[in-house]
Amino acid sequence: MHQPPPASLHLLINQYLEHLRHRQFSRWTIYARARQLQRFASFCQEISITSPGHVTRESIVAYQRSLCDHRTITGRALKPGSIQHYLVGVKTFLAWLVREHVLSVDHSVGLELPRESQRLPHAALTPAEVQTIFALPDVETTQGLRDRAIMEVLYSTGLRRMELCRLNLDHMDLVNGMVRVEQGKGRKDRLVPIGSEAIGWVRRYLSRGRAALNPADDEPAVFLNLFGRRLSEQLLGGLVHRHIQRSGLGKPGSCHLFRHAFATGLLRNGCDLRHIQTMLGHASLETTQLYTHLDTRQLQAAHQRCHPGQQRSETLQLKASLETLMSEASSLAETQLAKAIDYIRLLKLAQGHHAPADAKMPPNCSP
């Protein structure tokens, strides 16, 4: 009996994506997996690999190296998080092939993934800077009204870029001031409050802007492109970035800048870190602590309160103040003593002579 020819890589990738659909993974996750594996399949084709059985440890390492060497249109290298993103897609696919007995060995096991550096975020936008950016779109136009509403929602809710793109009309409860985020990061749903200012701009956009973009009203998404369809993440990031650049504030970034300003503003005004974690949709409190980073004013206050050197400085300042007060008190006492001695002399003179009728006790002296 002849063995059937091994299934092609592209066929197995399609079967894997169908498996994810049956497992009820979100369409966004399936879309991301498809992009990851299409890139891997293209690389395999370049090195003449058409079947997963020909994938070796060396070919996986070579793929990782190609990701590190890749440059975007602007000449930038992929970030470690992006490289990790592509490799995780390959690892999950190969693990599935082993479970399905297509492969006997998963050569990606033990592959060391690039580590993302835990960098502090850039300085957050201040409330005044946020208002400067908000004032840029021309709200008399359909596009400008949409852009203003988008930025208001980003700042008021702290939503991620992908979460705002996925926002549907029935996800927004403008009466009660709540937004329902469905299938956010980690496939988790959550409720996030939205402020009255943002609600006002959303209402204006829905009545004037969105109606003009989609007269047929056959699109469930809240925010639409100029063709009346759901905004893509790339388009959303680009339009927000352009407004930030136009502001002249010199702060790099896009939608995430408003998310960071949202979290930092809540922290500075005394909001509990757990509540911020819930609104941001973070699985770990450590992520929230890094993301919001401690307000520098709180750090300075803690340093002044607790650092031994600062405490010694404050002790020396207090000692100097006490010495000054004691010196002033001593000088005052000497002055009062001199006045008392003069008064006693007057009394002695009065014993032999009648004291003048208008003789008075020196001020602040008791006989």
For residue 210, how far is the Cα from the chain centroid? 28
Q: Which of 86, 155, 205, 291 is catalytic?
A: 291
Model confidence at 154: pLDDT above 60: yes
Q: What is the domain-level CATH number for residue 148?
A: 1.10.443.10
101-129 pLDDT, tens per residue? 999 999 999 888 887 665 655 667 899 99
Model confidence at 335: pLDDT above 90: no
Do residues 52 and 175 share a domain? no
Do residues 29 and 139 share a domain? no
Do residues 251 and 339 share a domain? no
pLDDT of the residue at 41: 93
Domain boundary among 82, 99, 116: 99
The whole domain housing 148 covers 127-293
Known catalytic membership, residue 291: yes
Domain-located, residue 299: no
Q: Which of 185, 204, 208, 241 is catalytic?
A: 185
Known catalytic membership, residue 188: no
d(CA 77, CA 72): 6
- What separation in angstroms does the CA of 119 have from each of 85, 122, 123, 187, 251? 18, 9, 12, 25, 16
Domain-located, residue 355: yes
Do residues 206 and 273 share a domain? yes
d(CA 86, CA 8): 20
Known catalytic membership, residue 2: no
> Average model confidence (pLDDT) for the chain?
85
Known catalytic membership, residue 259: yes
Do residues 138 and 92 share a domain? no
Known catalytic membership, residue 251: no
Q: Cα Rg for the chain, rounded, in angstroms? A: 36
Q: Which of 33, 148, 230, 259 is catalytic?
A: 259
Do residues 333 and 219 share a domain? no
309-318 pLDDT, tens per residue? 655 666 677 7
Q: Which of 33, 148, 160, 230 is catalytic?
A: 160
Phi-psi region of 70 (alpha: psi -120 to 50; beta: other; left: phi over 0): beta
The DSSP-derived string for 173-195 is ETTTTEEEE-S-TTS--EEEE--
Q: Collapsing DSSP states into helix, strand and coil, what is residue 64?
A: helix
pTM for the predicted model, two decimal places: 0.64
Q: Which of 39, 57, 204, 256 is catalytic?
A: 256
Domain-located, residue 331: yes
Query: Higher model confidence: residue 290 or residue 146?
Result: 146
Q: How many domains does the chain fold into?
A: 3
Domain boundary among 47, 79, 99: 99
Domain-located, residue 238: yes
Domain-located, residue 308: no
